[in-house]
Amino acid sequence: MSDTDSFINEVTDEVRREKLFGYLRRYGWIGVACVLLLVGGAAFNEYRNAQVRDTAQATGDALLSALEENDAAVRAAALESVEAQGNSAAVTLLLRAATQQEAGDIAAASETLNTLAVDPDAPQMYRDLAAFKAAALPSDDTAARKAALEALSAPGLPFSLLASEQLAYVALADGDTDAALAILRRIEEDAAVSRGLRERVQTIMVALGEPLPETVNQ
């Protein structure tokens, strides 16, 4: 290689280096910003996850502490002071309602369950469960309770068979044995009925003098 070619190559390399340094000076901040963004995002996610874990642990500890109370009224009051979010809030309300019912405060239990049942932020399965539990509470307003259970017993709803079972009990309480047996037969014949519910229904049917289907007796 001649001295002229070597000189040209050196000049060319120097020009390339100058261009590279120029690009770095002009656009290097973009790369630094990207790195800082990635590192900052990872740190923020870790901080947020840590907060979620701490909140969940604090809620769990508060629930356990409240449930350790022996007196149902005291336990219900302790559960009212528990602050929770998301699914934990729904579970807390269900526990609170159950404790209020155990303490004999049906009105408070009904209010708690109805609050959860219409909460748009609560998961649907908890809302459905709260609506069923509210309808299943003892009430002097039989007509309102029956109407609520009939709405929940519509085919396709998650607690339709359990709501139907409660309707059968309402019919029995009203002295309408025929209506109760008709409901119990529908439950017993439903393909989606659970084993436990079928056994309860069959026990009641036998107690009412209703013969069981041949498939059961065989």
- On the question of pLDDT at 135 being above 90, the answer is yes
Query: DSSP readout, 36-100?
Result: HHHHHHHHHHHHHHHHHHHHHHHHHHHHHHHHT-SSHHHHHHHHHT----THHHHHHHHHHHHHH
- Would you state the pLDDT for residue 77? 80
Q: How confident is the model at residue 197 (pLDDT cuts 50, 70, 90)?
A: very high
What pTM, to 2 d.p., does this model score? 0.67
Q: Give the dihedral of Cα atoms 34, 37, 38, 39; nearest 10 deg.
A: 120
- Would you state the pLDDT for residue 59? 65
Q: Any idea which residue has 């056994």 for tokens?
A: 199
Question: For 181-206, what is the mean pLDDT?
Answer: 93
- On the question of pLDDT at 218 being above 50, the answer is no
Between residues 208 and 73, the one the model is more confident about: 208
Using a pLDDT cut of 70, give the percent of the chain over it. 68
pLDDT tens-digit map of 73-122: 888 787 777 777 777 888 888 888 988 998 889 999 999 999 999 999 89
Between residues 127 and 24, the one the model is more confident about: 127
Distance CA 147, CA 36 (A): 60
